[in-house]
Amino acid sequence: TPPERIRNFCIIAHIDHGKSTLADRMLQYTGVVADREMRAQYLDRMDIERERGITVKSQAVRIPWELNGDTFALNMIDTPGHVDFSYEVSRSLAACEGAVLLVDAAQGIEAQTLANLYLALENDLTIIPVLNKIDLPAADPERFAKELADLIGGSPDDVLRVSGKTGAGVEDLLDRIVSDIPAPVGDPDAPARAMIFDSVYDAYRGVVTYVRMIDGSLAPRQRVQMMSTRAQHELLEIGVSSPEPHPSNGLGVGEVGYLITGVKDVRQSKVGDTVTDHRKPAETALTGYVEPKPMVYSGLYPIDASDYTSLREALDKLKLSDAALVYEPETSVALGFGFRCGFLGLLHLEIITERLSREFDLDLITTAPSVVYTVRSENGEEIVVTNPSEYPEGKIEQVTEPIVKASVLLPKDYVGTVMELCQSRRGSLLGMDYLSENRVELKYTMPLGEIVFDFFDQLKSRTQGYASFDYEPAGSEAADLVKVDILLQGDRVDAFSAIVHRDNAYAYGTTMTERLRKLIPRQQFEVPIQAAIGARIIARENIRAIRKDVLAKCYGGDISRKRKLLEKQKEGKKRMKMVGRVEVPQNAFIAALSGD
């Protein structure tokens, strides 16, 4: 297809504003998917996506559309909507010339609407503003058309109104995509440059890499080179998805499609990298490739120790399709053998743990998420700490923690309670904007460490779910942080160590010691539970000793009852962990860590 007949676009929206549903309607109206094959959220292939209604991995679909007698090839590039994947979002946006900015006509602009819009504007995309769900009785298109027009400029009359559910307005939208979004430009004679915007692992085909051709062209059997690693591969197959794969005899300027080289691991074909011709390589890569950087770390431990090998195998397998997942073996006194895993954010963590349990049938304990700290000792030595138990002993000169710029959108009635929450999380207010009479955007800088600790849940409950939230990394800052340890009979329980602000250390210590007192059963001897900063004890609880053997009351009694009791004790023992001399039931660890 010549570039003049190509339009590359994406749909950007806050979660639940109807992106997947609208994409479904587009596939249907352009005849790409037959009506009888249509099923909801056609493109969201991963089970977890469909169930939770979130888009994790992006994908590209080519759809034909006719306007004034000419047929155009529209490439719809689906972007992940969540902040954890913002690098992937920005790469898929870079593959487009335009974006459909989709906003729920009953909700208005939300945090991810803004975050994605800013990314789209940074990539110089033409924006088509669209209100969705106009079929809803609660829809208020007049009001939100104005809100959108105020945000991006232009008149409220330019805001399209559609319903992904009924299909109303979808054909007009396809026309607008053709007429408003510019055709791609590139040099057909230059050395090939294709940008990788997605890379997915397929059990049958190996890694399928989605690319946007910028310059030149690529053809099957050609040898290609990845510009970040210089690795070479042969193109076994190249083609377009519609949405099923259609192999072709090549991709030219402006085209969007997939390639298969037989590699088995997405790290060999990384999002953001540039593919070029091995024999006639381009001089410069497209944009600086960025290595995905884990922001949040957590320990994953099998509840049943014999699942350790299965856990390793499962992580190895997930890694094939997820270049951002990192892990290494770790041991914990309390939890045994497991893995320290790094994630892009909390949603990423949740997706991985859910996949481990669902696809690999593993029961796991997940330790409290921790961010990445840099700790400088008095002797000037600096270490990077992703696990509180690695925190250096002795005098610390400085600790720095990652900071984010957060944006919260909310109805104005909740401003007070949300400000209070952000303040209590060490946020500092950057600004407050009224998006409309009733909707406010609050901007804060905040330590990421305060967000990974149930900030979302707090925000939701304080605003009855009416607030939305997004953030981007904003460097790191020194802070007065300390490590709090929890000791059982003088032995440190590594899984419960936490790095917290000095002002919150006491609260953390008392909460954990109280929780553990309730969760750990009485033993033959008294067990002190303490919280400590270094050698200084800041909180203490006691578990009193049991006076007599439980079997004593069975003497002379019914023998079968005695056997049952013994068996029950043996059964219970299996699920006990020894911390020093103290027996702790495994679910006490789980409960204490999850905070129930």
Residues contributing to the site for Mg ion (CB under 5 A): 19-20, 55
Closer Cβ to ligand GDP, 168 or 303, answer by number = 168
User: From the list ligand GDP, Mg ion, none, which binds 233 (C-beta under 5 to 8 Å, kind-based)?
Assistant: none
Minimum distance from CB of 13 to ligand GDP (Å)? 5
In sequence order, what are the beta bridge partners of 375?
383, 399
Q: Is 46 in the site for ligand GDP (CB under 6 A)?
A: no
Smallest distance, Å, CB 165 to ligand GDP? 3
How far apart are CB 107 and ligand GDP at their closest, in Å?
10
Residue 385 DSSP code: E
As a whole number of Å, the CA-based R_g of the chain is 28
DSSP assignment of 227-291, as one string? TTT--EEE--EEEEESSSEEE-S-B-TT-EEEEE---S-GGGS-TT-EEEESSS--SS-SS----
Backbone angles phi, psi at 416, to 5 degrees: -60, -50
Determine whether the annotation assigns residue 533 to a binding site: no
State the nearest-atom distance from the C-beta of 81 to Mg ion, in Å.
7
**Least Å from the CB of residue 20 to Mg ion:** 3
Tell me if 45 contacts ligand GDP by CB under 6 A.
no
Check the annotation: does 133 bind a ligand.
yes
Q: Which of 163, 209, 367, 463 binds ligand GDP (CB under 6 A)?
A: 163
The beta strand positions in 371-526, using DSSP E, are 373-377, 382-385, 396-411, 428-434, 439-447, 468-478, 481-488, 491-492, 498-501
Q: What angle do CA 97, 23, 39 make, to 5 degrees?
A: 155
From 59-67, 157-165, 247-255, 574-582, span contacting ligand GDP (CB under 6 A)? 157-165
Residue 20 known to bind ligand: yes
Per-position b or e across 62-86, b if 16+ CB within 10 A of its CB: bbebeeeeeebbbbbbbbbbbbbbb
Minimum gap (Å) between residue 91 Cβ and ligand GDP: 19
Task: Give the shortest CB-33-to-ligand GDP separation in angstroms.
Answer: 15
Using CB atoms, what's the residue nearest to Mg ion? 20
Number of chain residues interacting with ligand GDP (CB under 6 A): 18
DSSP string of 426-448, one letter each residue: T-EEEEEEESSSSEEEEEEEEEH
Work out how close the CB of 44 gets to ligand GDP at its nearest, in angstroms, rounded to a whole number. 7
| Partner from ligand GDP, Mg ion, none binding residue 217, C-beta < 5-8 Å depending on class | none
Tell which residue, 243, 286, 282, has the closest CA to residue 74.
Answer: 243
- Nearest of 267, 320, 325 to residue 300 by alpha carbon: 325
Q: Which residue, 13 or 435, is less far from ligand GDP as judged by CB? A: 13
Candidates 52, 146, 165, 517; binder of ligand GDP (CB under 6 A) is 165
Q: Which is nearer to ligand GDP, 41 or 374 (CB)?
A: 41
In whole angstroms, give the CA distance from residue 194 to residue 556. Answer: 83
Quick one: what does residue 583 bind among ligand GDP, Mg ion, none, with the CB cut-off 5 to 8 Å set by partner type?
none
Q: How far apart are CA 511 and CA 590, in angstroms?
A: 15
Q: Does 482 bind ligand GDP (CB under 6 A)?
A: no
Map residue 394 onto helix, strand or coil: coil
Compare residues 44 and 255 and give the one whose CB is closer to ligand GDP. 44
Our finding on whether 135 is near ligand GDP (CB under 6 A) is: yes
Both tokens of 83, joined, read 């902040």
Q: Which bin fits 108, alpha (ψ -120 to 50), beta or left (φ > 0)?
A: left
Q: Is 167 annotated as a binding residue?
A: no
To the question of whether residue 127 is assigned a binding role by annotation, the answer is no
Instruction: State the binding partner of 163 from Mg ion, ligand GDP, none, CB within 5 to 8 A by kind.
Output: ligand GDP
- Draw the binding track, 11-30, toward ligand GDP (x: CB under 6 A; -: no contact): --x-xxxxxxx---------
Smallest gap, in angstroms, from Cβ of residue 25 to ligand GDP? 9
Q: How many CA atoms lie within 13 A of 365 on its CB side?
A: 26
C-alpha closest to that of 54 among 101, 115, 13? 13
* C-beta closer to Mg ion: residue 19 or 426: 19
Site for ligand GDP contains 206 (CB under 6 A): no
Q: What minimum distance in Å lies between the beta carbon of 89 and Mg ion?
A: 13
Stretch 361-400: interaction string toward ligand GDP, x if CB under 6 A: ----------------------------------------
**In angstroms, rounded to a whole number, what is the distance separating the alpha carbons of residues 515 and 32?**
57
Angle subtended at Cα 303 by Cα 579 and Cα 487, rounded to the nearest 5 degrees: 25
Tell me which of ligand GDP, Mg ion, none is bound by residue 447, counting a contact when its beta carbon lies within the kind-specific cut-off of 5 to 8 angstroms.
none
241 binds, among Mg ion, ligand GDP, none (CB under 5 to 8 A by kind): none
Rounded-to-integer distance, Cα 291 and Cα 313, Å: 24
SS3 for 71-125 is: EEEEEEEECCCCHHHHHHHHHHHHCCCEEEEEEECCCCCCHHHHHHHHHHHHCCC
Are 233 and 206 in contact by the 8 Å Cβ rule? The answer is no
Query: Which of ligand GDP, Mg ion, none interacts with 193 (beta carbon under 5 to 8 A by kind)?
Result: none
Distance CA 568, CA 574 (A): 10
How far, in Å, CA of 144 to CA of 147, rounded?
A: 5
User: Can you say which residues are annotated as belonging to the binding site?
Assistant: 16-21, 132-135
Per the annotation, binding residues for GTP are 16-21, 132-135
Q: Which residues bind ligand GDP (CB under 6 A)?
A: 13, 15-21, 41, 53, 55, 132-133, 135-136, 163-165
